[in-house]
Amino acid sequence: MRVRLLARSLGLGTAAALSLCTYDAAADPIAYAEQSFQYVRIDFGTGTTDTIGSLSQYFFVGAFADDDFSQEYAIDYPFGDLYSIDTTTAETTLIGSTIISGESPTALQWDPVDNYMLLMTDYASCDGGNFYALDIATGATMSIGVHDGCLERLAFDAAGHAFSIDIAAETLVELGADTVGPLGFDAAFISALFFDSATGALYLIAEDVDLRSNNMYIVDTTTGHATLVAPWVGYTAFAIAGSDTPMDTIFASGFDSQVQMPR
């Protein structure tokens, strides 16, 4: 997997741009996302989803910045504008245009070390894309690197290793390294890719074309193989607001039937 990150006026070298780490986690495993133009709060501790409010934009990617979970930053599709979303009311505020015409946003990730938002995109041909430093105050972007492949979503482990899904090849890839291996199922839309901060497990929420369903998986970061955990719904603009509670206590033995899956 070819990844080239450019040192520009931000002072970002290859290590700085790729060595992202997870922020300090909140008390419970909570995430926010868009689901069918509804802004929702997902409690992984109970498996329930609460609707906060309606959205008029279709947000494809989202992330929190600097441990501030009061607002999520999200990019709408197809216009590429940056918005903030109030996590208590679902009220949206337009910040500005990212000016990424001809590219699709596929991941957002906050870098707490250098304090900037990393935006990943794919070209329309889905054979490569760009990395941008995104100014969350204005929406302005600055190109800091490129990648090969058709990558969707980003996840960073505690050691700063960056992982993504090549949706065309249906493989797990480690950025700056190489392809890890095949997922083992016919993956379509990728809703989320994130590490459990308590256990280090890599979780994937994706559509299985053959099963015609959205599911949650644990992905082996040494082989790429995805193991089914439970049926799950699909999201966009998925953003974790912290996770100190180990996910394997929630999904005991793969799937705890006592946990109510979100519908």
Cα–Cα distance between 112 and 108 in angstroms, integer? Answer: 13
Q: What is the mean pLDDT of the chain?
A: 81
Please report which confidence band the pLDDT of residue 227 belongs to, taking 50, 70 and 90 as the band edges: very high
* Range of weakest confidence among 4-8, 173-177, 179-183, 199-203: 4-8
- Tell me how many domains the chain contains: 1
- List the beta strands (DSSP E) in 66-140: 68-76, 81-86, 92-97, 103-111, 116-123, 128-134
Domain for residue 260, yes or no?
no
Integer-rounded Cα radius of gyration of the chain: 17
Tell me whether residue 25 is in a domain: yes
pTM score of the predicted model:
0.80
Give the angle subtended at the CA of 89 by the CAs of 84 and 90, to the nearest 5°.
Answer: 45
Tokens of 192: 């989320």
- Answer yes or no: is 125 within a domain: yes
70 pLDDT more than 90: yes
Per-residue pLDDT, 158: 80
What pLDDT, on the 0 to 100 scale, is given for residue 177? 82
Average pLDDT score over residue span 122-147: 93
169: helix, strand or coil: coil
Higher per-residue pLDDT: 169 or 24: 169
CATH number at residue 160: 2.120.10
The domain in which residue 224 lies consists of 3-254
**Residue 56's pLDDT is what?**
93
Q: How far apart are CA 256 and CA 241, in angstroms?
A: 23
Quote the pLDDT of residue 113: 66
The per-residue pLDDT for range 190-200, each reduced to its tens digit, is 999 998 878 88
Which of 73 and 254 is assigned the larger pLDDT?
73
**pLDDT for the residue numbered 77:** 87
Do 195 and 155 form a contact (C-beta atoms < 8 A)? Answer: yes
For residue 28, the model assigns a pLDDT of 52
Q: Give the least confident one: 17-21, 140-144, 149-153, 173-177.
A: 17-21
Q: What is the pLDDT of residue 242?
A: 63
61, part of any domain: yes
Q: Closest Cα partner for 199 from 163, 161, 228, 157?
A: 157
Tell me whether residue 82 is in a domain. yes
Q: State mean pLDDT over 204-225.
A: 94
Dump pLDDT digits (tens) for 19-47: 222 333 334 578 999 989 999 999 877 77
